[in-house]
Amino acid sequence: MPLLETHALTRRFPGVLALDHVDFAAESGEVHAVCGANGAGKSTLMNILSGTIHPTSGTIAIAGQPVAFASPADARNAGVAIVYQEFSSIPELTVADNIFLGREFRGRFGVVDRRAASRAAANLLGRFGIALSPDTPVGALGVADRQLVELARALATEARILILDEPTAVLSIAEQAKLFAVIRTLRQQSLLILYISHRLEEIFEIADKVSVMRDGALVATRDKAALISVELIRLMTGRDVSANAAPTPIDGQRRTVLSVSGLSEDGAVIDIRAGEIWGLAGLVGTGRTSIAHRIAGLRRRDGFSATLNGAPLPDDPAKALAAGVVYMTEDRKRDGIFGPLAVTGNATAASLGRFAPGGFLRLGRERAEAGEVLRGLRLVAASLDTPIGSLSGGNQQKVLFARALLARPKVLICDEPTRGVDVGAREEIYAVLRRLSAEGVAIILISSELNEVLALSHRIAVVRHGRVSAVMDNAGLDEHALLVAATGAGEAARPVVKLAGKGAIPAS
Amino acid sequence: MSAVASPARPGFSLPSLDKAAVWIVLAVLLLLAGLASDAFFKLNYLTNLVRQAAPVGIAAVGVTFVMLLRGVDLSVGAIVSMSAVVCALVMDGKPENLWLGVAAASACGAAIGLANGLVIAHGKVSAFIVTLGMSIVVYGLVQMGTGGTARGIVSPGFREVLNSRIFGNVLPVLVICLLAAVAIGIFLQSRTRFGRGVYLVGANPEAARLAGLPVTRITVVAYIVSGLFAGLGGLALLARTGVSGTNPGAGMEFDVLAAVVLGGTTFAGGRGSVGGTFAGVMVLFIALNLANVAGLPFAAQLTIKGLIIIAASAAHSWIGSRGGGRSQQ
């Protein structure tokens, strides 16, 4: 009997079927990798298994017993523990304190018995082969060791099922080996480890079984031994890796709009022309967003300079915006939407000067112009007065596009424009980008989804270590060629590949 | 859901619960008050009640802006005191100093607000601490200025005009002043670029920065507005009581805060309105009047005030979590 089993597990968010009748099974004593592209449903599945969100329908059974988790505490009590990407340990406390955080050992009069905690922690760490001293402050530890503390904390709850969400995202190769050794110990002790990762070579190294998710459904579960990397990519993307239809090339005589010097590894000046979609590809964490922020003046532009139509571009967000450089955030909730405010106010936030000559708002004009742009974007909302916070991700993104359009951009920087957006809205957003390009707006497109970059961009720049390492014409490029460029796979020492999107590098 | 409404059709919809809540409470409370004592349905009593509320109400209009901005202004009580004292000292009982006194008191309020705003916006210090500290500073200044005894005399005519009633001896001038302050506040809030900026910065400061809004300037101006309205509130208080005393505005910041929170402007920023604040002021004063009618001592009224702040905050955050801030991703 499988240790963990789900039957027809389904989760529906408004407008999105995040999880679609998933029948998943895994045995104890195995490392079971779960992979898939962004939005494939991995996180939703793990969040349901760890009690953070509730399924719309379907059942979960552990060791044959049906379970229903009302809260993460319920899941923990049933033996499911999750270790997230982000660290939640408290640096000022010791390893032992962190492991038993919230479940401190109480001595007489309710005083915390730190010696007992320290002994218990040493015991626990020893049992799983984790070489850490329980009395070291966590702040003094390296990233990998902090990760192991998180792991120990999950294990201290007597977990039978351990979920690791991209555990190596922040680790170097040497640190990764340390983590893998611990994971192998856990496997020997009959735990089930659910391992979420984008890194194919890792999956091939550590996993016993691999489950692939796509568009909310479980596509396949295979033994690793019977799986080759090409097939895994095919399962993840739903198609054979092939060349995309590149966008129609723009004529080479267009004038340069944005000129950036000091950003390229070889010292060349980067010119972005009117109507050009300039894709910024590269692995997560290579500094793409930082480049975008610095071009838009949101951060100090150390190390490079930019000119817009020949004039120096000021590195102040309001001035860069006034000059026509518009940045669209990758994180709508954090610094994109004004949640409680109406759609109209959200759309005109970056162009208030035009709607408020002399400081007094022309509400009628504001509403008319915002309404027109939003209708062009096919916004679905009850009215222009609806608070943006109550719209779906795709519609929120359309309002942010309206904000960018109303600011009359000469250069539009889109950072992950389709993140958290459903498939229908995604196509509409592509159409908007193509239309803007046809109207002569220069677009810098940042995306972790290689097929998105390939389908839209005229030229593609590859970013490594915060700099542009290559600029390629998008003619005959495919995901594989792009990946090779992005990872420097041709070089002798090949770094570990981490992709947040579709496509991945073969292990061989 | 349907496609977006046409701008030609303004799409009237029912006001949402968080906006309507305080008005419903006001209506119910007024009804209850009327049942408890028929005085509440007499025009004279009602206008007098609004007149009493003028100093708090005027100050609350200004504080609404800083609360919309996720800030708070605890110095308004001290500014009210300072304004009243400065006004009386400058007027010195002379008719020719009347406008000078009014101007000096307003300028004092605006200046304290400017100081608050500069420290909060540039020093990145919490508004709570800055304005609490400022209120102590200002109380100290007022004590030094008065030497601990009530000094200064208002100009002749100041009290008489503000306390008179017009329109057939029905509507007190102070009530008109309050309504004017509310009207100006509503205009600032919904018709000016500054007002829109306050909502945007309050709803999401980082997004406001990305959208190129002058976040620092908006913050400073909001505190100036708060200080200025508190200064005007001080004038209203002086007109009502006639003597400046040494600390006439003591504790008034709590009345103001209670009214603003009751009106639906929460500490989370970006939500609320000056109109709601006006309704909040009325609810507060009717409740306190009812307590008075019921013969409760002053101490009990304080307790009621505190409970109102807590209950209103809880109610609004409950409404917000159920309907207001629902998001799907």
In chain A, residues 224-283 whose CB comes closer than 8 Å to chain B: none
Minimum-distance CB partner of B210 among A13, A298, A371:
A298
Q: Write out A77-141 in H/E/C secondary structure.
A: HCCEEEECCCCCCCCCCEHHHHHCCCCCCECHHHCECHHHHHHHHHHHHHHCCCCCCCCCEHHHC
- pLDDT one-digit tens code per residue, A106-141: 776 777 788 888 898 998 888 888 888 889 888 888
Which has the closest alpha carbon to A452: A290, A279, A332, A301? A279
Residue B308 C-alpha, separation from nearest chain A C-alpha, in angstroms: 24
Which has the closest alpha carbon to A275: A256, A292, A293? A256
Q: What is the dihedral of CA A115, A94, A206, A464, to 10 degrees?
A: -170
Work out the burial of residue B67: count CB atoms within 10 Å of its CB; fewer than 13 is exposed, 13-18 middle, 19 or more buried.
Answer: buried
DSSP state of B41: G
DSSP state of A329: -
A261: left (phi over 0), alpha (psi -120 to 50) or beta: beta
CATH fold of the domain at B17-315: ABC transporter involved in vitamin B12 uptake, BtuC (1.10.3470)
Which residue type does B274 have? V
Cα separation, B92 vs A74, in Å, equals 72
Which residue type does B197 have? G
- pLDDT one-digit tens code per residue, B82-140: 999 999 999 988 888 899 999 999 999 999 999 999 999 998 889 999 999 999 999 99
Which positions in chain B touch A352 (Cβ < 8 Å)?
A: 193, 196-197, 213
pLDDT above 70 covers what percent of chain A? 86
Most confident stretch, A47-51, A390-394, A466-470, B73-77: B73-77
Nearest chain B Cα to A374, which residue?
B4
- pLDDT one-digit tens code per residue, A285-340: 677 888 899 999 888 887 788 999 989 998 888 999 999 999 999 888 889 999 99
- What are the b/e assignments for B238-263, b being 16+ CB within 10 Å? bbbeeebbbbbbbebbbbbbbbbbbb
The stretches in chain B having pLDDT less than 70 are: 1-17, 244, 320-329
In chain A, residues 403-422 whose CB comes closer than 8 Å to chain B: 403, 407, 420
Q: Edge-to-edge, what's the strand order for the sheet holding A459-464?
A: A325-328, A411-415, A442-446, A277-282, A459-464, A467-473
Cα separation, A68 vs A91, in Å, equals 34
- pLDDT one-digit tens code per residue, A377-433: 888 888 899 899 888 888 899 999 999 999 999 999 999 898 777 666 778 888 899
Cα separation, B42 vs B33, in Å, equals 12
Which positions in chain A touch B264 (Cβ < 8 Å)?
A: none
Cβ neighbours of residue A375 closer than 8 Å, sequence gap 6 or more: B3, B4
| Domain architecture of chain A: domains with CATH | 4-237 (3.40.50.300), 254-324+409-503 (3.40.50.300), 338-406 (no CATH)
